[in-house]
């Protein structure tokens, strides 16, 4: 029993490494942990209760909202508002950023951006989904409402980021810029237990994850890279293995553990790629860099991009360093 370390204990332990830390970030992570447990409980019974399927409405990005998208959004939003550490949130499911009204929230230092239920179109068929979160220190004055500028900060200024994967087991993986740590949920105890300390992605991998149905409209460099992945060069471990779940969190998590690359380049439907910079790409980019990998839009480091819009999309290539380097070389060749 003595070697079990819960997420709560671990966060406090890490906080003690910073003598002037006030505990606010720890408390904020605590509210994410709580909302994750509530959402996890609901997802686990998704086939039983009337909670699957669409609500018959689209979000501001023209995507069909699922009942569980809205449920997860409400739970994370409520948990973040209740703890007094967050002055506002932005979410895939909210048209605009939300500034919390209570004065205690206006006095708070942090904003949170999130995709409350990523890959939610997979819920009805019992495939893994996730929650992605990104935390910044606000730049507007403490005491006032959160402003758009608080949310449009480049990814390298994130103070913490992470995801929850609701998979064959539920895990919470996060970084505060000091390594990446993973915790597995024990439902009988109701706690997340440290299971993966200091996660590092292998420098090389042999898994590539992409929706190849969009092949015809991929940039030339991406097409060449896919051909490279499929060539038979046994001394180089090629052909690589193709694995695509269609849930970013699940594809990312597998590649983080095993080595690999996830690609969502521009396509006919999504000329700028599908994934959103602020609450999908930036948090995953911080995690991957902390784990020793790379994330780029093909031209620039994701974490250096200057956001212009809340729901902005960018091409996203993320994973093992050598694999990202390789696809980038093909993209530059095609210029
Ligand atoms: P979502 O946030 O609306 O669920 O969309 C993001 C998801 C990612 O999880 C996943 O990798 C991708 O969309 C799948 O897209 P596609 O079905 O076009 O391959
Ligand atoms: Mg998403």
Query: If you average pLDDT over every residue of the chain, what do you get?
Result: 93
Enter the pTM of the model: 0.95
- CATH 3.40.190.80 is held by the domain 207-333: yes
What's the pLDDT tens digit per position in 83-101?
Answer: 899 999 999 999 999 999 9
What pLDDT does 20 receive?
55
Q: Is 65 in the pocket of ligand 1 (CB under 6 A)?
A: no
What pLDDT does 335 receive?
57
Would you say residue 16 has pLDDT above 90? no
Would you say residue 311 has pLDDT above 60? yes
**Ligand 2 centroid to 280 CA: how many Å?**
6
**Pair 161, 134: CB distance under 8 Å:** yes
Q: Which ligand is nearest to the CA of 69?
A: 1
What pLDDT does 14 receive?
82
Would you say residue 50 has pLDDT above 70? no
**Ligand 1 centroid to 212 CA: how many Å?**
13
Q: Is 211 in the pocket of ligand 1 (CB under 6 A)?
A: yes
Range from 55-64, 254-263, 264-273 that averages highest in pLDDT: 254-263
What pLDDT does 172 receive?
97
Annotated binding site: 92, 115, 117-121, 211, 244, 262-264, 274, 280
Annotated binding site for Mg(2+): 92, 115, 117-118, 280
**Ligand 2 centroid to 18 CA: how many Å?**
33
Domain ranges in the chain with CATH number 3.30.540.10? 7-198
Q: Is 150 in the pocket of ligand 1 (CB under 6 A)?
A: no
Ligand 1 atom at shortest distance from the alpha carbon of 269: 18
Domain ranges in the chain with CATH number 3.40.190.80? 207-333
Ligand 1 atom at shortest distance from the alpha carbon of 130: 9
Would you say residue 223 has pLDDT above 90? yes
What's the pLDDT tens digit per position in 281-299?
Answer: 999 999 999 999 999 999 9
Q: Is 92 in the pocket of ligand 1 (CB under 6 A)?
A: yes
Probe ligand 1: pick from 76, 274, 281, max atoms within 8 Å of CB? 274
What pLDDT does 18 receive?
60
Task: Assign domain 7-198 to its CATH superfamily.
Answer: Fructose-1,6-Bisphosphatase, subunit A, domain 1 (3.30.540.10)
Q: Binning pLDDT at 50, 70 and 90, where does residue 25 land? A: confident
What pLDDT does 15 receive?
76
Burial 226-256 (b: 16+ CB within 10 A, else e): bebbeeeeeeeeeebeebbbebbbbbbbbbb
What's the pLDDT tens digit per position in 141-189?
Answer: 999 999 999 999 999 999 999 999 998 999 999 999 999 999 999 999 9
């Amino acid at each position: 029993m003595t070697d079990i370390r819960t997420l709560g204990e671990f966060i406090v332990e890490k906080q003690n490494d910073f003598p002037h830390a006030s505990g606010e970030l720890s408390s904020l992570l605590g509210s994410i942990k709580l909302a994750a447990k509530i959402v996890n409980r609901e997802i686990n019974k998704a086939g039983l209760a009337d909670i699957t399927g669409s609500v018959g409405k689209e979000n501001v990005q023209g995507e069909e909202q699922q009942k569980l998208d809205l449920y997860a959004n409400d739970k994370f939003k409520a948990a973040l508002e209740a703890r007094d550490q967050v002055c506002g949130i932005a979410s895939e499911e909210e048209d605009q950023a939300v500034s919390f009204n209570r004065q205690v929230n206006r006095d708070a230092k942090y904003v949170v951006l999130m995709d409350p239920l990523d890959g939610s179109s997979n819920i009805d068929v019992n495939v893994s989904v996730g929650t992605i979160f990104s935390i910044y220190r606000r730049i507007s004055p403490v005491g006032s409402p959160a402003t758009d500028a608080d949310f449009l900060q480049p990814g390298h200024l994130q103070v913490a980021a992470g995801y929850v994967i609701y998979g064959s087991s539920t895990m919470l993986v996060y970084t505060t810029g000091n390594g990446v740590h993973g915790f597995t949920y024990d439902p009988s105890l109701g706690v997340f237990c440290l299971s993966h300390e200091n996660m590092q992605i292998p420098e090389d991998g042999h898994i590539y994850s992409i929706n190849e149905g969009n092949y015809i409209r991929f940039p030339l460099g991406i097409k060449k890279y896919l051909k490279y992945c499929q060539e038979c060069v046994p001394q180089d471990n090629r052909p690589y293995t193709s694995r695509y779940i269609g849930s970013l969190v699940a594809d990312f998590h597998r590649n983080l553990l095993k080595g690999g690359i996830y690609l969502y380049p521009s396509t006919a439907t999504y000329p700028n790629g599908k994934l959103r910079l602020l609450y999908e790409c930036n948090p995953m980019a911080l995690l991957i860099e902390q784990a020793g990998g790379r994330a780029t839009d093909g031209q620039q480091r994701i974490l250096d991009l200057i956001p212009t819009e809340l729901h902005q999309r960018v091409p996203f290539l993320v994973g093992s360093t050598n694999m990202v380097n390789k696809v980038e070389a093909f993209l530059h060749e095609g210029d």
